[in-house]
Amino acid sequence: GAVVSQHPSRVICKSGTSVKIECRSLDFQATTMFWYRQFPKQSLMLMATSNEGSKATYEQGVEKDKFLINHASLTLSTLTVTSAHPEDSSFYICSARGGGDAGELFFGEGSRLTVL
């Protein structure tokens, strides 16, 4: 079946640095990709929705300048956490959908970010 690859699975960085997380659809073209974030013992929260070739739509409360999302191609979306701080430490997961609004949704394995 379709696979969504997310990289890196774990990343540790220093406070103030930027971290990029990649989400790739390996065998289908993803017209839409979603980025989620989870804090310990809490639900996964939708951060933003990105469509290929256009700007991402961010959920209320998510800082656009801090969480940069790029969906430059039909198989790749990236999330860049800029000037990371310890409170940004979290579990980030992406999902990808192909085939229009009725297309099946596939999830990546998630990325664990720890900011020291």
- Binding-site ranges for another protein (CB under 8 A): 34, 36, 38, 40, 43-46, 49, 91, 93, 95, 104-107, 109-110, 112
Q: Which is nearer to another protein, 49 or 51 (CB)?
A: 49
φ, ψ of residue 105 in degrees (nearest 5): -105, 135
Q: Which is nearer to another protein, 65 or 77 (CB)?
A: 77
Q: Which is nearer to another protein, 28 or 106 (CB)?
A: 106
**Residue 97 near residue 104 (C-beta atoms within 8 A):** yes
Handedness of CA 88, 61, 104, 41 (dihedral sign): positive
Nearest to 48 by CA among 60, 37, 35: 35
Shortest CB 89 distance to another protein, Å: 10
| Six-digit token string for 23 | 């989400």
User: Is there a cis peptide before residue 8, judged by omega within 30 degrees of 0?
Assistant: yes
Q: Which is nearer to another protein, 65 or 103 (CB)?
A: 103
Shortest CB 112 distance to another protein, Å: 5
Shortest CB 16 distance to another protein, Å: 23
Place of tokens 């990236």: 78
